[in-house]
Amino acid sequence: MSAAPVWSVDPRTGNPREQVAVEATAEEVDRAVRAAHAVRDALADRAARAAFLRAAAELLEESGAHIVEAADAETALGPARLTGELARTAAQLRSFAEVVDEGAYLDVHIDHQDGSRTPPWPDLRRYKIPLGVVAVYAASNFPLAFSVPGGDTASALAAGCPVVVKAHPDHPATSELCASVLRRAAARTGLPEDVVTLVHGFDAGVELIRHPLVSAAGFTGSVRGGRALFDAAAARPAPIPFHGELGSLNPVVVTGAAAAERAGEIGAGLGGSMTLGAGQFCTKPGFVLVPEGATGDQLLKALTETVSSTGSGVLLDHRMRDAFVAGVRERAALPDVVAPVTPGAAGEHTVSAGFLTVPAARLAAKGPHDALLEECFGPVTVIARYTSVDEIAAVLARLPGNLTATLQTATEGDDPDAARLLAALTPLAGRILVNGWPTGVAVAPAQHHGGPYPATTSTSTSVGATAIERWLRPVTYQSTPEALLPPELREDNPLGLPRRVDGRRA
Amino acid sequence: MSAAPVWSVDPRTGNPREQVAVEATAEEVDRAVRAAHAVRDALADRAARAAFLRAAAELLEESGAHIVEAADAETALGPARLTGELARTAAQLRSFAEVVDEGAYLDVHIDHQDGSRTPPWPDLRRYKIPLGVVAVYAASNFPLAFSVPGGDTASALAAGCPVVVKAHPDHPATSELCASVLRRAAARTGLPEDVVTLVHGFDAGVELIRHPLVSAAGFTGSVRGGRALFDAAAARPAPIPFHGELGSLNPVVVTGAAAAERAGEIGAGLGGSMTLGAGQFCTKPGFVLVPEGATGDQLLKALTETVSSTGSGVLLDHRMRDAFVAGVRERAALPDVVAPVTPGAAGEHTVSAGFLTVPAARLAAKGPHDALLEECFGPVTVIARYTSVDEIAAVLARLPGNLTATLQTATEGDDPDAARLLAALTPLAGRILVNGWPTGVAVAPAQHHGGPYPATTSTSTSVGATAIERWLRPVTYQSTPEALLPPELREDNPLGLPRRVDGRRA
């Protein structure tokens, strides 16, 4: 039996572009993981890791035009968006180099011997060490920032973990180019190339999560795929952490006061956010509570104008296009659901954006309308019209976990409902926005890109400095002579690390 | 059908002492969880939580004599040990009050708007919020410090999470007394009593982990029980974090130089540590690599003396006693295994301590001797005699994850093997000791009580200040007006919290 070919496909035509690789066999996955495991000690040096991440950013930028061209050809996301994503990805690699340089992520704690404690303290010194080989499952919708050179890879390498990436089938050519960039960056900084390896194929992804030498995994994708891998990670003889970002509705609540103040601005802003990247952002606002009545109608008018003037778009692949067309058709057929702008198929390879409306009362209890509370990937959003704040609260209580939740409130004067609604949104998501739109995720230390299940399968973030915490575990040395301690834990702090000593910051 | 009775049993006789309670039905578990969920907001106030934890410590001490008496009657751990455990438990409650007061655990990050970033930063403010109702599964072997008023409960309450404790059947009377103390402490500080509830029964424990309003769980116990609950937590429609401490061999390596320097001291120290609490510590040194030859023989001679002079002991219950007797018999029957002091049954209700020896070469590859690499709960340890450092490394590579790993090295002059062996031990455990014994776990910020599976099912600790992290999740507020921000995130820092601003400590 010959190996299964991996084709790069043009979503604008559905035609194969080129054969990029072959799917990895179980033996090849085993070899990749063992090779990664074998070179893990090479990543122990923090300065080398920081240099590697910076070299990767530089080489990514040097190959930028070529990578963007390949990515556009196989994702149809467009050169402008992809050029921006590449810049973001390079900045992300550099930001993790800074995290490594600073060393606060090592979370050094030193407690000196203290016989006065109950029970007495021996000398205890704790920091964090890398978990080992990390499996990264690339996303369809961000071929760079959440794929081969993306946040999971960057944070795992920053932590000192070698990475085996499972490429997404929507952009294998881009994945190969990026893997080559990362491996060249490793070589340029004196590290073994096998600190990053790429594998293709569905079965390879399953092999990877089961491999005994894989210590943790990062995933961005669908609830179905992510849950299957999460289950496999949990079912291992030795379970491993699985940090998956699966799906999110990203609810938005527009208060009466907000609609009265700026219905047009909110409608236009929503239309822009939900159609961005053809509605293929994990942070797309997919469910919006809008007041019944004149101001809500005005909001919908502005939304209608924005969405109607959005050209048809190409989704990442034809399977997604079919799922989108079927998903909006199913939802639009529900009783009392109206489509002021009908989403669905446009040409043979394209889709058009649209939105649905439903009375919020339809969602107050379990029923067929619950389909409207599930993410529908693509350029569609659901507007639930409410008649009271109590009705909003009842609907919010029925929502699953989310990456984001947004409150549109009055910017001038007091909004009587704002505080109550913000309190009702907070349990639902990992990032709460006021008067903004959730698409667009800054790479910053205070960022949190995660949320209650199914938004993520853990309490961690996949964006921002603290994403590094996912790939580390603490270890404490007790009563260990100075000469045997790692330099991070020595009394004179030779590496100048921030630390807590005897319970206080030092 | 009437409710199943819960009996307190005297392990010294096997006789029931008194009926303490009845097992909770599914409806009762549901009611307990809903009651806990309903009062969660009462725990939002940090000052009230700290006061509650301190009141709990005080009331625990006030009822100390009564609690120790009950605990001794149903665990046979002895008043001295239990008095110490009570003091430790009270100190632990107070230490979490300090953690709450300081507020560093909130991990506040503030990034101001910055258009120069790629992509630009909006105003982002992150801190950690409680997950919700926490299920705590009490341990058999620490009726106080790892049970109702123990570290899981204390850290969850400190985080702001209400707790439902599943009592351990080995000490239901103690559990009732302690739950009553905690509920009285809540009432005394103006909090609803339902912030802590106790349930009994195996089925109740299973109901608890499946309850949709339970947000996370802490567990200390066996690999079998812990894995079943871990699997149930992972199989939920919305999986939850399960922080389980399951089992640990706690390997010790004695270098040739250490044995040459102080064979007698090490043998005596080992004998004391492995028989402490009748060998029922999760940190019991259960596997010891000792050199072949004269100095190793001397070590075994000292160990023999110490263990032989240890009186017979009562285990926590008769099921454990039977498992111990069967476990040591099975291991002692393996080829080349010798029992210089035979462990096993003593009287009808008691066991005697002992140890087994085996050539390390027997453990270099998979085989029936692998039983020696599994924890055997009770007063027994396995001594593997080695002939070279390479042989040590080969055996260590075959060990599962552990809470602790210990190196006994020369205290004077250079020990040529120390650095290499410490490096080989570090991947195996969460706490590494040099020239100490692992029994005894200080409650300190730098403590880490956890380790690779099966030691724990997560990368977290169940002892020490950072145990609070298990019950929190981050939430970021983006572009949120000052008036709507929680006080923890306001610009002027009204609560005086330690925080990171624009990536730097402030």
Contacts of B122 in chain A (CB under 8 A): 436, 442
Query: How close B54 comes to chain A (CA, Å)?
Result: 15
The pLDDT score that the predictor gives to residue B503 is 86
- Residues within 8 A of A (CB atoms), B 385-404 only: 400-401
The Cα diameter of chain A in Å comes to: 77
Q: Is the ipTM of this complex over 0.95?
A: yes
Helices marked H in B40-122: 46-62, 64-75, 79-102
Region of A495 (left: φ > 0; alpha: ψ -120 to 50; beta: rest) is alpha
Query: How close A40 comes to chain B (CA, Å)?
Result: 12
Name the pLDDT band for A3 (thresholds 50, 70, 90): confident
Contacts of A122 (CB under 8 A, 6+ apart): A113, A478, A479, B436, B442
Pick the closest to residue B418 from B427, B429, B410 (CA basis). Answer: B410
- Span A56-92, pLDDT tens digits: 999 999 999 999 999 999 999 999 999 999 999 999 9
> For the CA atoms of chain A, what is the radius of gyration?
24
Q: By CA distance, what is A437's nearest residue in B?
A: B478
Tell me if residue B277 falls in helix, strand or coil. Answer: helix
Residues forming CATH 3.40.605.10 domain(s) in chain A: 21-246+458-472
- Span A13-38, pLDDT tens digits: 999 999 999 999 999 999 999 999 99
A41 and B CB contact within 8 Å:
no
The pLDDT score that the predictor gives to residue A346 is 96
**Alpha carbon separation from B132 to A244, A444, B34, B217, B363 (Å, rounded):** 21, 27, 11, 10, 45
The pLDDT score that the predictor gives to residue B2 is 67
B87 and A CB contact within 8 Å:
yes
Cβ of A400 within 8 Å of Cβ of B238? The answer is yes
Written as one string, the DSSP assignment of A465-476 is GGGGGGGEEEEE
Cβ of B111 within 8 Å of Cβ of A446? The answer is yes
- Span A330-369, pLDDT tens digits: 999 999 999 999 999 999 999 999 999 999 999 999 999 9
Cα dihedral A458, A464, A468, A469, rounded to 10, equals -50
- Span B270-283, pLDDT tens digits: 999 999 999 999 99
A44 and B CB contact within 8 Å:
no
Name the pLDDT band for A505 (thresholds 50, 70, 90): confident
**Alpha carbon separation from A111 to A127, A131, A503, B87, B444 (Å, rounded):** 12, 24, 7, 20, 7
- The secondary element (H helix, E strand) that includes residue A98 is helix A79-102
Contacts of A124 in chain B (CB under 8 A): 442, 444, 446-447
**Integer Cα distance of B186 and B184 in angstroms:** 5
Cβ of A431 within 8 Å of Cβ of B122? The answer is no
**Interface test mutation site (partner B, options A118, A420, A421, A472, max chain B beta carbons within 10 A):** A118
Task: Write the residue in A104, A409, A442 that is nearest to B122 by C-beta.
Answer: A442
Q: What is the mean pLDDT of chain B?
A: 97
Q: Catalytic: which of B161, B178, B282, B376?
A: B282
Written as one string, the DSSP assignment of A103-152 is -GGG-EEEE--BTTSSSPB--EEEEEEE-SEEEEE--SS-TTTTSTTSHH
Q: Which residues of B299-325 are buried (b: 16+ CB within 10 A; e: fewer)?
A: bbebbbebbeebeebbbbbeebbebbb
A444 and B CB contact within 8 Å:
yes
- The size of the A-B interface in CB pairs under 8 A is 219
Tell me if residue B94 falls in helix, strand or coil. Answer: helix
CATH classification number, A21-246+458-472, choose in 3.40.605.10, 3.40.50.150, 1.10.1040.10, 3.30.70.141: 3.40.605.10
Q: Which residues of A are catalytic?
A: 245, 282
| DSSP code for A479 | S
The pLDDT score that the predictor gives to residue B367 is 96
A110 and B CB contact within 8 Å:
yes
Residue B1 reports pLDDT greater than 60: no
Residues forming CATH 3.40.605.10 domain(s) in chain B: 23-103+130-246+458-473
Both tokens of B188, joined, read 């005394």
Task: Decide if B391 is catalytic.
Answer: no
A423 and B CB contact within 8 Å:
no
Both tokens of B228, joined, read 């079943």
Residue A1 reports pLDDT greater than 70: no
Name the pLDDT band for A203 (thresholds 50, 70, 90): very high
**Interface test mutation site (partner B, options A475, A482, A485, A502, max chain B beta carbons within 10 A):** A475
**Integer Cα distance of A143 and A165 in angstroms:** 12
* E strands, A192-250, in order: 196-199, 214-220, 242-245
Query: How close A379 comes to chain B (CA, Å)?
Result: 23
Place of tokens 């096993």: B344
- Span B425-447, pLDDT tens digits: 999 999 999 999 999 999 999 99
Task: Write the residue in A426, A466, A476 that is nearest to B430 by C-beta.
Answer: A476
- The secondary element (H helix, E strand) that includes residue A59 is helix A46-62
The phi, psi pair for B351, rounded to 5°, reads -130, 155
Please tell me the CATH code under which domain B251-434 is placed. 3.40.309.10
Cβ of A88 within 8 Å of Cβ of B119? The answer is yes
Region of A27 (left: φ > 0; alpha: ψ -120 to 50; beta: rest) is alpha
Angle at A55 between CA A52 and CA A58, to 5 degrees: 155
Instruction: For strands B338-341 and B354-359, give the pairing.
Output: antiparallel
**Interface test mutation site (partner B, options A459, A462, A477, A499, max chain B beta carbons within 10 A):** A459
Tell me if residue B498 falls in helix, strand or coil. Answer: coil
Instruction: For strands B124-130 and B504-505, give the pairing.
Output: unpaired
Contacts of A401 in chain B (CB under 8 A): 238
Task: Write the residue in B117, B129, B436 that is nearest to A479 by C-beta.
Answer: B436
Pick the closest to residue B441 from B61, B50, B89, B78 (CA basis). Answer: B89
- Do B448 and A476 touch, CB atoms closer than 8 A? yes
Identify residue B236 by its one-letter amino acid code: R
Tell me if residue A164 falls in helix, strand or coil. Answer: strand
- Do B156 and B471 touch, CB atoms closer than 8 A? yes
- Residues within 8 A of A (CB atoms), B 157-216 only: none
Region of A338 (left: φ > 0; alpha: ψ -120 to 50; beta: rest) is beta
Residues forming CATH 3.40.309.10 domain(s) in chain B: 251-434
- Span B234-271, pLDDT tens digits: 999 999 999 999 999 999 999 999 999 999 999 999 99
**Integer Cα distance of B236 and B210 in angstroms:** 6
Long-range contacts of A188-191 (CB under 8 A, 24+ apart): A188/A55, A188/A59, A189/A48, A189/A51, A189/A52, A189/A55, A190/A48, A191/A39, A191/A42, A191/A43, A191/A48, A191/A52
Written as one string, the DSSP assignment of A268-297 is HHHHHHHHGGGG--TT---EEEEESSHHHH
- Do B167 and B208 touch, CB atoms closer than 8 A? no
A338 and B CB contact within 8 Å:
no
Place of tokens 């340890």: B381
**Interface test mutation site (partner A, options B125, B131, B469, B478, max chain A beta carbons within 10 A):** B478
Cα dihedral A313, A315, A316, A322, rounded to 10, equals -160
**Integer Cα distance of A320 and A351 in angstroms:** 10
- Span A132-189, pLDDT tens digits: 999 999 999 999 999 999 999 999 999 999 999 999 999 999 999 999 999 999 999 9
Task: Write the residue in A239, A418, A459 that is nearest to B453 by C-beta.
Answer: A239
Q: By CA distance, what is A436's nearest residue in B?
A: B479
- Based on the number of CB atoms within 10 Å of its own CB, is B38 exposed (0-12), middle (13-18) or buried (19 or more)? middle
B40 and A CB contact within 8 Å:
no
Residue B19 reports pLDDT greater than 90: yes
Q: Looking at the DSSP assignment, which residues form a beta bridge with residue B499? A: B108
- The secondary element (H helix, E strand) that includes residue B111 is strand B108-111
- Span B364-386, pLDDT tens digits: 999 999 999 999 999 999 999 99
Task: Decide if B282 is catalytic.
Answer: yes
Q: By CA distance, what is A408's nearest residue in B?
A: B480
- Based on the number of CB atoms within 10 Å of its own CB, is B98 exposed (0-12), middle (13-18) or buried (19 or more)? middle
Both tokens of B287, joined, read 């596997």
Cβ of B473 within 8 Å of Cβ of A484? The answer is no
Q: Looking at the DSSP assignment, which residues form a beta bridge with residue A109? A: A126, A500
Query: How close B305 comes to chain A (CA, Å)?
Result: 27
Q: What is the mean pLDDT of chain A?
A: 97
Contacts of B228 in chain A (CB under 8 A): none
- Span B284-327, pLDDT tens digits: 999 999 999 999 999 999 999 999 999 999 999 999 999 999 99
Q: By CA distance, what is B232's nearest residue in A?
A: A234
**For range B317-339, the mean pLDDT:** 98
Residue A2 reports pLDDT greater than 80: no
B342 and A CB contact within 8 Å:
no
| DSSP code for A236 | S
Cβ of A446 within 8 Å of Cβ of B475? The answer is no
A474 and B CB contact within 8 Å:
yes
Instruction: For strands A351-352 and A344-345, give the pairing.
Output: antiparallel
Contacts of B452 in chain A (CB under 8 A): 238, 473
Both tokens of A370, joined, read 């619950």
Task: Write the residue in B88, B120, B453 that is nearest to A442 by C-beta.
Answer: B120
Domain B23-103+130-246+458-473 has CATH 3.40.605.10: yes
- Do A247 and A375 touch, CB atoms closer than 8 A? yes
